Amino acid sequence: MYPVRVLSGMRPTGAMHIGHLHGALINWVRLQTEYPCFFFVADYHALTTAYEDPDIIGKSVWEMLVDWLAAGLDPNQSTIFIQSRVPEHAELSLLLGMSTPLGWLERVPTYKEQLERLSQKDLLTYGFLGYPVMQAADILVYRASMVPVGEDQVPHIEMTREIARRFNHLFGREPGFEQRAREAMRRLGSKRAKLYEELRTRYQEQGDDTALEQGRALLSSAQSLSLGDRERLFGFLEGSRKLILVEPHARLTKSPRLPGLDGQKMSKSYNNAIAMREDPAEVTRKIRTMQTDPARVRRNDPGNPELCPVWQLHQVYTDEATHAWVQHGCRTAAIGCLDCKQPVIDALLREQGPIRERAQQYLDDPTLLRNIVADGCDKARKAAQETMRDVREAMGLQYT
Ligand code: TRP
Ligand code: SF4
Protein backbone atom coordinates (compact mmCIF):
# COMPACT_ATOMS: atom_id res chain seq x y z
CA MET A 1 0.00 0.00 0.00
CA TYR A 2 1.18 3.53 -0.61
CA PRO A 3 2.41 5.31 2.53
CA VAL A 4 0.09 7.60 4.48
CA ARG A 5 0.13 11.12 3.15
CA VAL A 6 -1.89 14.09 4.31
CA LEU A 7 -3.04 16.77 1.89
CA SER A 8 -5.25 19.80 2.17
CA GLY A 9 -5.76 23.12 0.48
CA MET A 10 -7.59 26.40 0.76
CA ARG A 11 -8.73 28.90 -1.76
CA PRO A 12 -6.76 32.15 -1.45
CA THR A 13 -8.90 34.53 0.56
CA GLY A 14 -6.14 36.81 1.84
CA ALA A 15 -5.30 37.35 5.50
CA MET A 16 -6.69 34.56 7.67
CA HIS A 17 -9.04 35.12 10.59
CA ILE A 18 -9.27 33.26 13.87
CA GLY A 19 -11.98 31.04 12.40
CA HIS A 20 -9.43 29.69 9.91
CA LEU A 21 -6.88 29.35 12.70
CA HIS A 22 -9.08 27.25 14.97
CA GLY A 23 -11.04 25.59 12.18
CA ALA A 24 -8.09 24.34 10.15
CA LEU A 25 -4.59 25.69 10.71
CA ILE A 26 -4.06 24.50 14.29
CA ASN A 27 -5.06 21.05 13.13
CA TRP A 28 -2.64 21.18 10.18
CA VAL A 29 0.17 22.22 12.50
CA ARG A 30 -0.50 19.18 14.65
CA LEU A 31 -0.73 16.82 11.69
CA GLN A 32 2.62 17.89 10.29
CA THR A 33 4.35 16.36 13.31
CA GLU A 34 2.61 13.04 12.73
CA TYR A 35 2.57 12.48 8.96
CA PRO A 36 4.14 13.67 5.73
CA CYS A 37 1.94 16.66 4.87
CA PHE A 38 1.18 18.66 1.72
CA PHE A 39 -0.62 21.99 2.04
CA PHE A 40 -1.38 24.16 -0.94
CA VAL A 41 -3.10 27.33 -2.09
CA ALA A 42 -5.92 26.45 -4.50
CA ASP A 43 -5.54 29.38 -6.86
CA TYR A 44 -7.05 27.52 -9.82
CA HIS A 45 -10.12 26.97 -7.69
CA ALA A 46 -10.28 30.68 -6.95
CA LEU A 47 -10.47 31.31 -10.67
CA THR A 48 -13.58 29.17 -11.03
CA THR A 49 -15.57 31.92 -9.35
CA ALA A 50 -13.32 35.00 -9.62
CA TYR A 51 -12.35 34.67 -13.27
CA GLU A 52 -13.61 38.17 -13.98
CA ASP A 53 -11.27 39.86 -11.53
CA PRO A 54 -8.15 37.73 -11.39
CA ASP A 55 -5.94 40.55 -10.07
CA ILE A 56 -6.95 39.98 -6.47
CA ILE A 57 -5.66 36.42 -6.45
CA GLY A 58 -1.92 37.15 -6.25
CA LYS A 59 -2.11 39.42 -3.23
CA SER A 60 -4.43 37.03 -1.42
CA VAL A 61 -2.10 34.11 -2.04
CA TRP A 62 0.89 35.70 -0.33
CA GLU A 63 -1.10 37.14 2.56
CA MET A 64 -2.58 33.75 3.22
CA LEU A 65 0.79 32.03 3.08
CA VAL A 66 2.27 34.45 5.61
CA ASP A 67 -0.53 33.48 7.97
CA TRP A 68 -0.02 29.76 7.42
CA LEU A 69 3.61 30.13 8.46
CA ALA A 70 2.66 32.46 11.29
CA ALA A 71 0.26 29.82 12.58
CA GLY A 72 3.17 27.42 12.83
CA LEU A 73 3.27 25.47 9.60
CA ASP A 74 6.89 24.49 9.31
CA PRO A 75 8.45 24.18 5.86
CA ASN A 76 10.85 21.59 7.26
CA GLN A 77 7.94 19.37 8.16
CA SER A 78 5.29 20.26 5.58
CA THR A 79 5.42 20.76 1.86
CA ILE A 80 3.82 24.16 1.28
CA PHE A 81 3.05 25.15 -2.28
CA ILE A 82 0.80 26.78 -4.85
CA GLN A 83 -1.49 24.68 -7.03
CA SER A 84 -0.91 26.44 -10.34
CA ARG A 85 2.87 26.13 -9.96
CA VAL A 86 2.56 22.37 -10.16
CA PRO A 87 1.02 21.96 -13.60
CA GLU A 88 0.47 18.24 -12.99
CA HIS A 89 -2.70 19.31 -11.15
CA ALA A 90 -4.07 20.67 -14.41
CA GLU A 91 -2.94 17.68 -16.40
CA LEU A 92 -4.52 15.13 -14.08
CA SER A 93 -7.68 17.21 -13.88
CA LEU A 94 -7.97 17.13 -17.65
CA LEU A 95 -7.36 13.40 -17.80
CA LEU A 96 -9.80 12.58 -15.00
CA GLY A 97 -12.36 14.58 -16.89
CA MET A 98 -12.33 11.97 -19.65
CA SER A 99 -13.96 9.37 -17.47
CA THR A 100 -16.02 11.44 -15.04
CA PRO A 101 -19.74 11.21 -15.83
CA LEU A 102 -21.49 14.55 -16.17
CA GLY A 103 -24.28 13.34 -13.90
CA TRP A 104 -21.89 12.97 -10.97
CA LEU A 105 -20.93 16.63 -11.24
CA GLU A 106 -24.45 17.94 -11.62
CA ARG A 107 -25.48 15.98 -8.55
CA VAL A 108 -22.86 17.44 -6.17
CA PRO A 109 -25.04 19.08 -3.50
CA THR A 110 -22.98 22.26 -3.34
CA TYR A 111 -23.14 22.79 -7.09
CA LYS A 112 -26.72 23.99 -7.52
CA GLU A 113 -26.62 25.67 -4.15
CA GLN A 114 -23.59 27.76 -5.08
CA LEU A 115 -25.06 28.58 -8.48
CA GLU A 116 -28.01 30.12 -6.68
CA ARG A 117 -26.08 31.71 -3.85
CA LEU A 118 -23.65 33.42 -6.22
CA SER A 119 -26.27 34.25 -8.79
CA GLN A 120 -24.77 37.68 -9.48
CA LYS A 121 -21.85 35.89 -11.18
CA ASP A 122 -22.14 33.80 -14.29
CA LEU A 123 -21.12 30.38 -13.03
CA LEU A 124 -22.64 28.37 -15.82
CA THR A 125 -19.16 27.51 -16.97
CA TYR A 126 -17.30 24.33 -17.71
CA GLY A 127 -14.67 25.30 -15.12
CA PHE A 128 -17.14 25.74 -12.30
CA LEU A 129 -18.90 22.48 -13.07
CA GLY A 130 -15.48 20.83 -13.05
CA TYR A 131 -14.54 22.17 -9.60
CA PRO A 132 -14.79 18.72 -7.98
CA VAL A 133 -12.72 17.07 -10.72
CA MET A 134 -9.98 19.60 -10.13
CA GLN A 135 -10.19 18.95 -6.40
CA ALA A 136 -9.99 15.20 -7.03
CA ALA A 137 -6.86 15.80 -9.11
CA ASP A 138 -5.32 17.84 -6.26
CA ILE A 139 -5.69 14.90 -3.94
CA LEU A 140 -5.05 11.98 -6.27
CA VAL A 141 -1.94 13.43 -7.87
CA TYR A 142 -0.19 12.96 -4.49
CA ARG A 143 -1.86 9.64 -3.70
CA ALA A 144 -2.91 11.31 -0.46
CA SER A 145 -4.77 9.02 1.89
CA MET A 146 -5.95 11.56 4.45
CA VAL A 147 -7.58 14.90 3.73
CA PRO A 148 -8.29 17.14 6.72
CA VAL A 149 -11.32 19.23 5.82
CA GLY A 150 -14.52 20.61 7.27
CA GLU A 151 -17.93 18.98 6.97
CA ASP A 152 -18.79 21.04 3.88
CA GLN A 153 -16.04 19.35 1.85
CA VAL A 154 -17.13 15.76 2.50
CA PRO A 155 -19.13 15.41 -0.74
CA HIS A 156 -16.01 16.45 -2.65
CA ILE A 157 -13.90 13.79 -0.94
CA GLU A 158 -16.58 11.20 -1.62
CA MET A 159 -16.55 12.15 -5.28
CA THR A 160 -12.76 11.91 -5.29
CA ARG A 161 -13.05 8.33 -4.05
CA GLU A 162 -15.51 7.51 -6.80
CA ILE A 163 -13.35 9.11 -9.46
CA ALA A 164 -10.33 7.12 -8.24
CA ARG A 165 -12.27 3.88 -8.12
CA ARG A 166 -13.58 4.38 -11.63
CA PHE A 167 -10.15 5.31 -12.90
CA ASN A 168 -8.56 2.18 -11.41
CA HIS A 169 -11.35 0.10 -12.85
CA LEU A 170 -11.03 1.53 -16.35
CA PHE A 171 -7.30 1.98 -16.63
CA GLY A 172 -5.81 -0.31 -14.02
CA ARG A 173 -5.43 -3.22 -16.37
CA GLU A 174 -1.98 -3.77 -17.62
CA PRO A 175 -1.14 -6.28 -20.31
CA GLY A 176 -0.51 -9.64 -18.70
CA PHE A 177 -1.73 -8.34 -15.33
CA GLU A 178 -2.78 -11.70 -14.02
CA GLN A 179 0.48 -13.34 -14.99
CA ARG A 180 2.50 -10.55 -13.40
CA ALA A 181 0.41 -10.76 -10.26
CA ARG A 182 1.05 -14.50 -10.06
CA GLU A 183 4.77 -13.93 -10.45
CA ALA A 184 4.63 -11.34 -7.69
CA MET A 185 2.78 -13.88 -5.56
CA ARG A 186 5.65 -16.31 -5.85
CA ARG A 187 7.92 -13.65 -4.47
CA LEU A 188 5.85 -13.72 -1.28
CA GLY A 189 7.27 -17.12 -0.41
CA SER A 190 5.22 -20.29 -0.65
CA LYS A 191 3.55 -20.17 2.77
CA ARG A 192 2.40 -16.59 2.40
CA ALA A 193 1.45 -17.10 -1.22
CA LYS A 194 -0.85 -19.93 -0.23
CA LEU A 195 -2.47 -17.86 2.51
CA TYR A 196 -2.85 -14.92 0.11
CA GLU A 197 -4.55 -17.13 -2.45
CA GLU A 198 -6.97 -18.43 0.18
CA LEU A 199 -7.85 -14.96 1.41
CA ARG A 200 -8.30 -13.72 -2.12
CA THR A 201 -10.69 -16.53 -2.94
CA ARG A 202 -12.63 -15.99 0.27
CA TYR A 203 -13.01 -12.29 -0.46
CA GLN A 204 -13.89 -12.66 -4.10
CA GLU A 205 -16.23 -15.61 -3.79
CA GLN A 206 -17.90 -14.79 -0.49
CA GLY A 207 -17.29 -11.06 -0.15
CA ASP A 208 -15.61 -11.75 3.19
CA ASP A 209 -14.32 -8.36 4.37
CA THR A 210 -12.12 -9.75 7.12
CA ALA A 211 -10.35 -11.83 4.50
CA LEU A 212 -9.74 -8.61 2.56
CA GLU A 213 -8.37 -6.93 5.69
CA GLN A 214 -6.14 -9.89 6.46
CA GLY A 215 -4.91 -10.00 2.90
CA ARG A 216 -4.00 -6.35 3.05
CA ALA A 217 -2.21 -6.78 6.35
CA LEU A 218 -0.29 -9.68 4.90
CA LEU A 219 0.88 -7.56 1.97
CA SER A 220 1.75 -4.60 4.16
CA SER A 221 4.04 -6.74 6.27
CA ALA A 222 5.68 -8.56 3.35
CA GLN A 223 9.13 -7.01 3.16
CA SER A 224 10.32 -8.84 0.09
CA LEU A 225 8.02 -7.04 -2.37
CA SER A 226 8.83 -4.15 -4.65
CA LEU A 227 6.39 -1.25 -4.65
CA GLY A 228 5.02 -2.26 -8.06
CA ASP A 229 4.49 -5.89 -7.04
CA ARG A 230 2.82 -4.84 -3.85
CA GLU A 231 0.37 -2.64 -5.72
CA ARG A 232 -0.32 -5.41 -8.17
CA LEU A 233 -1.11 -7.80 -5.35
CA PHE A 234 -3.34 -5.25 -3.66
CA GLY A 235 -5.25 -4.90 -6.89
CA PHE A 236 -5.32 -8.63 -7.52
CA LEU A 237 -6.71 -9.23 -4.03
CA GLU A 238 -9.77 -7.14 -4.81
CA GLY A 239 -10.23 -7.93 -8.44
CA SER A 240 -7.93 -7.97 -11.36
CA ARG A 241 -6.83 -4.38 -11.48
CA LYS A 242 -3.78 -2.46 -10.49
CA LEU A 243 -4.46 0.36 -8.03
CA ILE A 244 -3.01 3.41 -9.68
CA LEU A 245 -4.84 6.06 -7.71
CA VAL A 246 -5.43 5.90 -3.98
CA GLU A 247 -8.90 6.46 -2.51
CA PRO A 248 -8.56 9.14 0.15
CA HIS A 249 -10.48 9.57 3.39
CA ALA A 250 -11.80 12.81 4.78
CA ARG A 251 -10.45 13.50 8.20
CA LEU A 252 -13.02 15.70 9.83
CA THR A 253 -11.62 18.44 11.96
CA LYS A 254 -13.34 18.40 15.30
CA SER A 255 -13.24 22.09 15.82
CA PRO A 256 -15.49 24.64 17.39
CA ARG A 257 -17.33 26.98 15.05
CA LEU A 258 -16.17 30.45 15.91
CA PRO A 259 -18.94 32.99 15.72
CA GLY A 260 -18.35 36.35 14.10
CA LEU A 261 -18.78 39.63 15.95
CA ASP A 262 -22.48 39.67 15.06
CA GLY A 263 -23.07 36.06 16.02
CA GLN A 264 -23.23 34.88 12.39
CA LYS A 265 -20.59 32.55 10.96
CA MET A 266 -17.24 34.36 10.92
CA SER A 267 -16.36 35.42 7.41
CA LYS A 268 -14.39 38.24 5.88
CA SER A 269 -17.21 38.93 3.46
CA TYR A 270 -19.67 39.48 6.34
CA ASN A 271 -17.26 41.98 7.84
CA ASN A 272 -17.55 40.31 11.26
CA ALA A 273 -14.12 38.71 11.55
CA ILE A 274 -11.13 39.07 13.81
CA ALA A 275 -7.95 38.65 11.81
CA MET A 276 -5.18 36.35 13.00
CA ARG A 277 -2.92 39.38 13.15
CA GLU A 278 -5.44 42.00 14.13
CA ASP A 279 -4.05 45.19 15.60
CA PRO A 280 -4.24 44.77 19.43
CA ALA A 281 -6.30 47.94 19.87
CA GLU A 282 -8.72 46.64 17.25
CA VAL A 283 -9.01 43.29 18.99
CA THR A 284 -10.05 45.10 22.14
CA ARG A 285 -12.45 47.40 20.34
CA LYS A 286 -14.06 44.64 18.33
CA ILE A 287 -14.67 42.36 21.30
CA ARG A 288 -15.93 45.23 23.46
CA THR A 289 -18.55 46.10 20.86
CA MET A 290 -19.36 42.49 20.03
CA GLN A 291 -22.96 41.28 20.07
CA THR A 292 -24.13 39.74 23.39
CA ASP A 293 -27.37 38.20 24.63
CA PRO A 294 -29.91 40.84 23.50
CA ALA A 295 -31.81 40.34 26.77
CA ARG A 296 -29.05 42.12 28.65
CA VAL A 297 -30.06 45.65 27.82
CA ARG A 298 -29.09 47.11 31.16
CA ARG A 299 -26.28 46.08 33.45
CA ASN A 300 -28.78 44.62 35.93
CA ASP A 301 -30.62 42.45 33.41
CA PRO A 302 -29.62 38.80 33.77
CA GLY A 303 -28.57 37.00 30.61
CA ASN A 304 -28.15 33.53 29.16
CA PRO A 305 -24.72 32.55 27.82
CA GLU A 306 -26.30 30.00 25.48
CA LEU A 307 -27.78 32.92 23.55
CA CYS A 308 -24.53 34.87 23.43
CA PRO A 309 -21.73 34.54 20.87
CA VAL A 310 -19.17 35.75 23.44
CA TRP A 311 -19.80 32.54 25.34
CA GLN A 312 -18.75 30.54 22.27
CA LEU A 313 -15.46 32.41 22.30
CA HIS A 314 -15.04 31.56 25.98
CA GLN A 315 -15.30 27.92 25.09
CA VAL A 316 -12.30 28.23 22.82
CA TYR A 317 -10.29 30.78 24.70
CA THR A 318 -10.77 30.44 28.47
CA ASP A 319 -10.55 27.75 31.16
CA GLU A 320 -13.14 25.88 33.21
CA ALA A 321 -12.95 28.23 36.17
CA THR A 322 -13.69 31.19 33.93
CA HIS A 323 -16.57 29.29 32.35
CA ALA A 324 -18.15 28.78 35.79
CA TRP A 325 -17.64 32.46 36.55
CA VAL A 326 -19.34 33.47 33.29
CA GLN A 327 -22.27 31.08 33.73
CA HIS A 328 -23.03 32.26 37.22
CA GLY A 329 -22.17 35.92 36.71
CA CYS A 330 -24.22 36.27 33.51
CA ARG A 331 -27.33 34.52 34.79
CA THR A 332 -27.37 36.54 38.03
CA ALA A 333 -26.18 39.81 36.52
CA ALA A 334 -23.29 39.69 38.97
CA ILE A 335 -20.93 40.63 36.13
CA GLY A 336 -21.33 43.03 33.24
CA CYS A 337 -20.66 42.09 29.65
CA LEU A 338 -17.46 44.11 29.55
CA ASP A 339 -16.18 42.21 32.59
CA CYS A 340 -17.12 39.00 30.87
CA LYS A 341 -15.33 39.92 27.66
CA GLN A 342 -12.02 40.87 29.27
CA PRO A 343 -10.62 37.33 29.68
CA VAL A 344 -11.41 36.68 26.01
CA ILE A 345 -9.58 39.82 24.99
CA ASP A 346 -6.61 38.84 27.12
CA ALA A 347 -6.48 35.35 25.66
CA LEU A 348 -6.76 36.64 22.09
CA LEU A 349 -3.90 39.07 22.61
CA ARG A 350 -1.83 36.29 24.17
CA GLU A 351 -2.53 34.06 21.20
CA GLN A 352 -1.74 36.70 18.62
CA GLY A 353 1.58 37.94 20.05
CA PRO A 354 3.72 35.03 18.82
CA ILE A 355 1.75 34.84 15.58
CA ARG A 356 2.48 38.48 14.83
CA GLU A 357 6.12 37.91 15.66
CA ARG A 358 6.48 34.93 13.34
CA ALA A 359 4.74 36.80 10.54
CA GLN A 360 7.07 39.77 10.88
CA GLN A 361 10.14 38.02 9.44
CA TYR A 362 8.21 37.23 6.24
CA LEU A 363 6.86 40.75 5.98
CA ASP A 364 10.37 42.15 6.46
CA ASP A 365 11.89 39.80 3.93
CA PRO A 366 9.46 38.72 1.22
CA THR A 367 12.11 36.64 -0.59
CA LEU A 368 12.22 34.35 2.42
CA LEU A 369 8.60 33.43 1.78
CA ARG A 370 9.10 33.20 -1.98
CA ASN A 371 11.97 30.76 -1.44
CA ILE A 372 10.05 28.56 0.95
CA VAL A 373 7.20 28.30 -1.51
CA ALA A 374 9.47 27.73 -4.52
CA ASP A 375 11.06 24.90 -2.60
CA GLY A 376 7.68 23.46 -1.70
CA CYS A 377 6.57 23.63 -5.33
CA ASP A 378 9.66 21.68 -6.39
CA LYS A 379 9.05 18.98 -3.82
CA ALA A 380 5.37 18.74 -4.64
CA ARG A 381 6.13 18.54 -8.31
CA LYS A 382 8.49 15.59 -7.88
CA ALA A 383 5.81 13.68 -6.00
CA ALA A 384 3.15 14.58 -8.55
CA GLN A 385 5.34 13.49 -11.45
CA GLU A 386 5.66 10.00 -10.04
CA THR A 387 1.92 9.56 -10.13
CA MET A 388 1.62 11.12 -13.57
CA ARG A 389 4.07 8.65 -15.07
CA ASP A 390 1.76 5.81 -14.02
CA VAL A 391 -1.36 7.69 -15.09
CA ARG A 392 -0.03 8.46 -18.56
CA GLU A 393 1.07 4.90 -19.03
CA ALA A 394 -2.26 3.52 -17.86
CA MET A 395 -4.14 5.82 -20.20
CA GLY A 396 -2.11 4.76 -23.18
CA LEU A 397 -0.20 8.02 -23.60
CA GLN A 398 3.30 6.58 -23.28
CA TYR A 399 3.43 5.37 -26.87
CA THR A 400 6.43 5.87 -29.10
N1 TRP B 1 -12.64 23.16 -2.09
C2 TRP B 1 -11.80 23.44 -0.94
C3 TRP B 1 -12.46 24.61 -0.16
O4 TRP B 1 -13.20 25.36 -0.70
C5 TRP B 1 -10.41 23.83 -1.32
C6 TRP B 1 -9.68 22.70 -1.97
C7 TRP B 1 -9.31 22.62 -3.27
C8 TRP B 1 -9.23 21.50 -1.34
N9 TRP B 1 -8.64 21.45 -3.51
C10 TRP B 1 -8.59 20.75 -2.35
C11 TRP B 1 -9.30 21.01 -0.03
C12 TRP B 1 -8.05 19.48 -2.09
C13 TRP B 1 -8.77 19.75 0.23
C14 TRP B 1 -8.15 19.01 -0.79
O15 TRP B 1 -12.16 24.73 1.01
FE1 SF4 C 1 -22.62 37.25 26.94
FE2 SF4 C 1 -20.95 37.36 28.98
FE3 SF4 C 1 -22.72 39.34 28.58
FE4 SF4 C 1 -23.53 36.96 29.40
S5 SF4 C 1 -22.21 38.37 30.51
S6 SF4 C 1 -24.45 38.17 27.78
S7 SF4 C 1 -22.12 35.58 28.35
S8 SF4 C 1 -21.03 38.75 27.23
123 and 109 within one domain: yes
Q: Are residues 56 and 127 in the same domain?
A: yes
CATH value at residue 59: 3.40.50.620
Query: Which residue from 330, 331, 332, 345 has its CB within 8 A of the most atoms of ligand 2, so it is best to mutate?
Result: 330
Q: Model-level pTM greater than 0.85?
A: yes
In a domain, 310, yes or no: yes
SS3 of residue 124 by DSSP: coil
**Residue 41 beta carbon below 6 angstroms from any ligand 1 atom:** no
What's the mean per-residue pLDDT of the chain? 94
| Same domain, yes or no: 224 and 286 | no
129 assigned to some structural domain = yes
Question: Sign (positive/negative) of CA torsion 157, 163, 169, 173?
Answer: negative
**Domain match, 122 and 57 both:** yes
Distance 296 CA to ligand 2 centre (A): 8
What is the share, in percent, of the chain residues with pLDDT greater than 70?
100
Same-domain status, 299 and 219:
no
Ligand closest to the CA atom of residue 303? 2
* Interval 12-52: pLDDT, tens: 999 999 999 999 999 999 999 999 999 999 999 999 988 87
What is the rounded distance in angstroms from the CA atom of residue 180 to the CA atom of residue 388?
22
Q: Is there a single domain that holds both residue 123 and residue 64?
A: yes
Instruction: Say whether pLDDT at 294 is over 80.
Output: yes
Closest CA to 69 of 360, 391, 359: 359
Do 159 and 29 share a structural domain? yes
Residue 270: inside a domain: no
Average pLDDT over residues 263-283: 95
Q: What is the pLDDT of residue 243?
A: 86
Between helix 177-186 and helix 227-238 the angle, nearest 10°, is 110
Pocket test for ligand 2, best of 288, 290, 291, 293 (most atoms within 8 A of CB): 293
pLDDT tens digits, 43-61 = 999 999 888 788 889 999 9
Same domain, 209 and 343: no
Do 21 and 130 fall into the same domain? yes
Q: What is the pLDDT of residues 53-86, one digit of tens each?
A: 888 899 999 999 999 999 999 999 999 999 999 9
Residue 269 covered by a domain? no
In a shared domain, residues 195 and 298: no
CATH no. for residue 301? 1.10.240.10
Residue 261 lies in a domain: no
| Domain identity same for 18 and 159 | yes
* Cα 156 to middle of ligand 1, angstroms: 8
Ligand nearest to the CA of 139: 1
What pLDDT score was predicted for residue 279? 97
The answer to whether residue 97 is domain-embedded is: yes
Identify residue 299 by its one-letter amino acid code. R
Are residues 155 and 187 both part of a single domain?
no
Residue 87 falls within a domain, yes or no? yes
Residue 188 lies in domain: 177-238
Q: Does residue 400 form part of some domain?
A: no
Domain total for the chain?
Answer: 3
Q: What is the pLDDT of residues 125-150, one digit of tens each?
A: 999 999 999 999 999 999 999 999 99
Query: Where do the H-state alpha helices sit in the chain?
Result: 18-20, 26-31, 43-50, 55-71, 88-99, 102-106, 109-117, 126-129, 131-140, 154-171, 177-186, 190-206, 209-221, 227-238, 280-288, 309-317, 320-331, 337-364, 366-394
User: What is the distance in A from the centroid of ligand 2 to the CA of 19?
Assistant: 20
Residues near 293 by beta carbon (within 8 Å), at least 6 away in sequence: 303, 304, 305, 307, 308, 330
